[in-house]
Amino acid sequence: MARNRKAVKRGTGRRYGRSASRSVEKAMRRFKRGALRSGKGGKAGPVKNPRQAIAIGLSEARKRGAKVPALSKSAPRK
């Protein structure tokens, strides 16, 4: 049976690229070992929140040019 191609709904694709997810995995490993540090040069101390570890991983992926959505301009940064 042939399917009508116009009726098939397509997905939107991946939101984050594979290299971005690898970067987050590495950041989470460093977080669990206690080696992930926040701030410029790691001077602000070890990361204590897993969400912060994910954010650091995504930020590192962004710097490398991985497929990661840009930060929203409306969200207030602390």
Q: Is the pTM of this model over 0.85?
A: no
The pLDDT tens digits for 25-73 are 999 999 999 999 998 888 999 999 999 999 999 999 999 999 998 888 8
Q: What pLDDT is recorded for position 58?
A: 93
The 8-class DSSP code of residue 37 comes to B
Which is more confidently placed, 11 or 48?
Answer: 48
- The residue with greater pLDDT, 14 or 32, is 32
Tokens 């940064």 belong to 77
At 46, is the secondary structure helix, strand, or coil? strand
Q: What is the structure's pLDDT at 78?
A: 64
